[in-house]
Copies of this chain bind each other. A is one copy, B any other.
Amino acid sequence: MTRRVEVVEDILSANDHLAAQNRERLEAAGVFSVNLMASPGAGKTSLIERTAAGLGSEMRLAVIDGDLATSLDADRAAAAGAQAVQINTGGQCHLDAAMVRRGLEELDLSQVELLLVENVGNLVCPSAFDLGTRTRVLIASVPEGDDKPFKYPGSYHSIDVVLLNKIDLLPYVAFDVKRFLHGVEVLNPSLQSFLVSCQTGEGLEAWFAWLRREVAGMRAEVVR
């Protein structure tokens, strides 16, 4: 097993190197970038559609979409008006920095202010791979249950933002919002959290406002 551990460490260190290059490139271009992670079906693509619809007229948005096998998600992002690049991972369970670099090469970054990177739907593997984005966002969803921060600490740790999606289902599911938020905050004391429904639109305005501030802050940094 030693050989396996060494190889895994080689891969992670090569990934970190590429992630640093991606980060440098994105920062230089003044692009605010987000690594969107979640379980399958928690609402990553719906959030991207909603965000494109809500902010598309104010800022230039691009999406890099990681998918195991199809282009269903990139099609939805493009239909919602975003510049969309599909990265087919060929079965790999997470995006890595090399894949994101290939995605960046297909985008004209001078025409992008906000980049959403949609990771593979998986609560375990993506968290180990830095992609070079400025921010890590985890989308949880009400039907998954309020115990997920306790059960998937690797993914819930070292995120900057959590969105709890599908709050329209709270009346029909046993879910203790306080228990959930407590679990996330224990792991990330400075966390930003939003309760939203991509179905009804509830709560999304606060997420948009946060993105507006972050994108404006990024512009100000580049101008300086």
Contact = CB atoms under 8 A, between A and B. Distances in A.
A101 to B, nearest CB: 15
A141 B141 CA distance: 13
Nearest to A38: B40
A179 to B, nearest CB: 12
A28 to B, nearest CB: 29
Contact of A123 (B40, B144, B148): B40
A209 interface: no
Interface string A59-73: 000000001111011
A72 to B, nearest CB: 6
A70 B40 contact: no
Interface stretch (A16-24, A105-113, A166-174, A211-219): A166-174
Interface in A33-63: 39-41
10 contacts: A39-B121, A41-B143, A41-B148, A68-B124, A72-B147, A72-B151, A121-B123, A122-B122, A168-B172, A169-B172
Given A41-B148, A69-B151, A93-B125, 5 more contacts: A40-B148, A41-B143, A68-B152, A72-B150, A120-B124
